């Protein structure tokens, strides 16, 4: 329950709906109780007048008595109809206020969770898998909504009915009340248990189903591998097994479901039998009238649904509390990558790493070890090294996806931590190593990083990324859709779209993380040449495992296992006869061999 108190701020926000809901619940119950009393009066009236009717047996007045009774019954019937109509109207209003409130809160909560997700650092996304993040925002929020809507509605209904009906029943006849109500707590308890079983089994089914769909998804996205290795039969067997599991769980659930209604009906029936029997005894004793029995049967029926719902409501509230707990855990995760000074200014682009080390907080891997280097305004630097040497980590640090564990990074002489994050990242054009393109048009993908960007800028960016000619060959040019239901680009084309996206926003600092790995060295040269113009007055960091990418750079840093082993210009490093030269010659030779073949 403590976890659910987080939602009180939303209940407060929509208090007008909540208060209206409470009012409508009470009014609708008034219109439910009045008809029961009308039934009692009608039956008593008929019963008394029937005696009169028989007294007048054989007299002419008898038919008058009959018309009187019929007239009165008709009036009662009409009154009851009106009450039922009014009750219906107020029940409609109850849902319109309470359920509508829960939908509003669901919407707000989803937005809150999503907004919170987005500002959390990358390390958060490495710790939690995407499935978990989706579950919080969809399943868990839905469960919380069940508490805010149906649970609150039925809870209020039960409370108000209890306080209105039971005191009245007691005032009529305490003994009859007691007997009539005895089965109800059992009803409530059994619903609670049965409902918990149903929920648990439904969850198992849900899990089995999601396992099944993951399997199918993988089977079809990997269909090329499955076909070429002739594993169709094996794949079918696995599917069959997963399917069987789902079927068995569903059958188990339907067994419990089939027991559910008979159980409720049996307990309600027991209530009615007790009411009629004890009521009959009380009538014989002269304590109550026939009408009271009828009235009580109606009350018992009126109370059964809310009492049934009590068990249901309890389990909804428990599940909602568990869900809200998980949501709260995420909402409490803090973003430690923030800025105190929040400096917003145009960058010139000088970057300085001073004795920077980084241990990744989640894996404990020391990716950088005491690194220092300088890049002047508008200069370009190449960072060369084998896989796993820490190159991408440097890019992560420049974009401030992580903060160094030791040392400091300065941008224009100011600590990188002092800049406002949106302003800093807004002036960096980052081409990540693993390209990500949205299922959207090529133009939208390129325009992604900047609000109201003109088509001219998009064209220029793709020109500079050596992409324009490729695009002109696509059926719909820039309006060609990518991804699902669109076309699939080759690795090199994807990388170039990613480059175009980074330069289209006209950044002061350009970070190219191994972004030409999917093209051959010849194309790489062509692309680098067309990038030359773009790089002119921007600070550019070219990260690559190929020395051929480094030629253009003013300065070269060679990384190995998180340490800088050499730095200087191409000429200086060649003269030095060290690791760079060795790498250079090895890679050039490999290339020659390839071109000879």
Residues contributing to the site for Mg ion (CB under 5 A): 391-392, 433
Q: Which residues, in sequence order, are bridge partners of residue 410?
A: 352, 415
For residue 568, the partner it binds in Mg ion, ligand ADP, none, with Cβ less than 5 to 8 A by kind, is: none
Q: Which stretch binds ligand ADP (CB under 6 A): 80-88, 184-192, 390-398, 546-554?
A: 390-398
Tokens of 38: 């009308």
Q: How far is the CB of 332 from ligand ADP (least distance, A)?
A: 22
For residue 389, the partner it binds in ligand ADP, Mg ion, none, with Cβ less than 5 to 8 A by kind, is: ligand ADP
Tokens of 397: 């640090």
Query: Which helix (H) or strand (E) element contains residue 539?
Result: strand 539-544
Q: How far is the CB of 545 from ligand ADP (least distance, A)?
A: 7
User: Given the complex with Mg ion, which of 7 and 395 has the nearer CB atom?
Assistant: 395
User: Given the complex with ligand ADP, which of 196 and 433 has the nearer CB atom?
Assistant: 433
What's the full length of the chain, in residues? 597
Q: How far is the CB of 127 from ligand ADP (least distance, A)?
A: 10
Query: Which helix (H) or strand (E) element contains residue 178?
Result: helix 174-181
Which positions from 239 through 298 interact with ligand ADP, judged by CB under 6 A? none
Residues in CB range of 88: below 8 A, 6 or more apart: none
Residue 329 is a binding residue for ligand ADP (CB under 6 A): no
Selected binder of ligand ADP within 389, 464, 495, 539 (CB under 6 A): 389
3-state secondary structure of 389: coil
Q: Which stretch binds ligand ADP (CB under 6 A): 189-197, 325-333, 389-397, 476-484?
A: 389-397
Task: Give the dihedral sign, CA 351/357/363/365.
Answer: positive
Q: How far is the CB of 462 from Mg ion (least distance, A)?
A: 25
For residue 393, the partner it binds in Mg ion, ligand ADP, none, with Cβ less than 5 to 8 A by kind, is: ligand ADP
Angle (CA) 426-112-137 rounded to 5° is 105
The closest alpha carbon to 54, from 45, 65, 43, 44, belongs to 65
Contact code string over 347-376 relative to ligand ADP, x by CB under 6 A: -------------x-xx-x-x---------
In whole angstroms, give the CA distance from residue 388 to residue 402: 17
User: Given the complex with ligand ADP, which of 106 and 514 has the nearer CB atom?
Assistant: 514
Selected binder of ligand ADP within 376, 378, 388, 426 (CB under 6 A): 388
User: Given the complex with ligand ADP, which of 280 and 491 has the nearer CB atom?
Assistant: 491
Instruction: Read off the DSSP letter of residue 139.
Output: I
Burial grade of 486 (CB within 10 A; 0-12, 13-18, 19 or more) = middle
Burial grade of 22 (CB within 10 A; 0-12, 13-18, 19 or more) = middle
User: Given the complex with ligand ADP, which of 21 and 390 has the nearer CB atom?
Assistant: 390
Q: How far is the CB of 434 from Mg ion (least distance, A)?
A: 9
In whole angstroms, give the CA distance from residue 500 to residue 270: 75
Residue 385 is a binding residue for ligand ADP (CB under 6 A): yes
Residue 544 is a binding residue for ligand ADP (CB under 6 A): no
Residue 67 is a binding residue for ligand ADP (CB under 6 A): no
> Would you say 556 and 382 are in contact if contact means Cβ atoms under 8 Å apart?
yes
For residue 367, the partner it binds in Mg ion, ligand ADP, none, with Cβ less than 5 to 8 A by kind, is: ligand ADP
CB count within 10 Å of CB 444 equals 17
Region label for 466, one of left (φ > 0), alpha (ψ between -120 and 50) or beta (otherwise): left
Where does this chain bind ligand ADP (CB under 6 A)?
A: 126, 360, 362-363, 365, 367, 385, 387-393
């Amino acid at each position: 329950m403590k976890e659910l108190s987080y939602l009180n701020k939303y209940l407060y926000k929509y208090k007008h709906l909540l208060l209206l809901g409470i009012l409508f619940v009470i009014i609708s119950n008034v219109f439910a109780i009045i008809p029961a009393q009308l039934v009692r009066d009608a039956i008593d009236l008929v019963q008394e007048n029937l005696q009169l009717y028989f007294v007048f047996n054989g007299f002419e007045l008898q038919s008058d008595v009959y018309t009187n009774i019929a007239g009165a019954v008709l009036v009662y019937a009409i009154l009851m109809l009106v009450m039922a109509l009014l009750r219906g109207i107020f029940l409609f209003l109850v849902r319109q206020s309470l359920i509508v409130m829960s939908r509003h809160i669901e919407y707000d909560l989803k937005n809150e969770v999503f907004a919170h997700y987005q500002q959390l650092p990358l390390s958060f996304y490495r710790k939690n898998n995407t499935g978990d993040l989706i579950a919080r925002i969809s399943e868990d929020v839905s469960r919380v909504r069940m508490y805010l809507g149906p649970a609150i509605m039925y809870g209020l209904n039960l409370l108000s009915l209890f306080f209105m009906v039971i005191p009245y029943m007691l005032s009529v006849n305490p003994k009859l009340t007691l007997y009539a109500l005895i089965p109800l707590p059992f009803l409530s308890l059994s619903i609670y248990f049965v409902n918990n079983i149903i929920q648990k089994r439904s969850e198992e089914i849900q899990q089995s189903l999601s396992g099944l769909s993951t399997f199918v998804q993988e089977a079809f996205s990997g269909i090329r591998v499955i076909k070429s290795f002739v594993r169709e039969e094996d794949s079918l067997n696995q599917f069959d097994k997963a399917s069987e599991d789902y079927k068995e769980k569903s059958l188990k659930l339907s067994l419990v479901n089939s027991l559910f209604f008979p159980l409720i009906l049996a307990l309600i029936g027991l209530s009615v039998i007790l009411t009629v029997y004890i009521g009959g005894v009380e009538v014989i004793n002269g304590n109550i009238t026939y009408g009271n029995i009828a009235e009580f049967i109606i009350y018992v029926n009126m109370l059964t649904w809310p009492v049934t719902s009590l068990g249901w409501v309890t389990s909804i509230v428990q599940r909602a509390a568990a869900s809200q707990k998980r949501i709260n855990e995420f909402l409490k995760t803090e973003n430690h990558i923030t800025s105190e000074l929040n400096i917003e200014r145009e960058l010139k682009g000088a970057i300085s790493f001073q004795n920077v080390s980084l241990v990744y907080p989640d894996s404990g891997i020391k990716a950088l070890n005491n690194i220092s280097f300088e890049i002047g305004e508008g200069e370009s630097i190449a960072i060369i090294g084998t896989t796993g040497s820490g190159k991408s980590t440097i890019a992560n640090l420049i974009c401030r996806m992580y903060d160094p564990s030791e040392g400091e990074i300065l941008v224009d002489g100011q600590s990188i931590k002092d800049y406002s994050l949106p302003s800093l990242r807004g002036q960096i054009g980052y081409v990540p190593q693993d390209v990500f393109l949205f299922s959207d048009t090529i133009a939208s993908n390129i325009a992604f990083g900047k609000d109201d960007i003109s088509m001219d800028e998009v064209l220029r960016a793709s020109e500079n990324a050596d992409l324009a000619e490729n695009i002109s060959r696509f059926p719909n040019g820039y309006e060609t859709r990518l991804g699902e239901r669109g076309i699939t680009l080759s690795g090199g084309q994807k990388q170039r779209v990613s480059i175009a996206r980074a330069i289209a926003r006209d950044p002061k600092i350009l970070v190219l993380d191994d972004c030409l790995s999917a093209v051959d060295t010849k194309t790489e040269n062509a692309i680098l040449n067309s990038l030359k113009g773009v790089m002119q007055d921007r600070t550019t960091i070219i990260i690559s495992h190929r020395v051929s990418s480094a030629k253009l750079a003013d300065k070269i840093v060679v990384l190995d296992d998180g340490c800088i082993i050499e730095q200087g210009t191409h000429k200086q490093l060649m003269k030095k006869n060290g690791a760079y030269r060795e790498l250079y010659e090895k890679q050039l030779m490999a290339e020659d061999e390839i071109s000879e073949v």
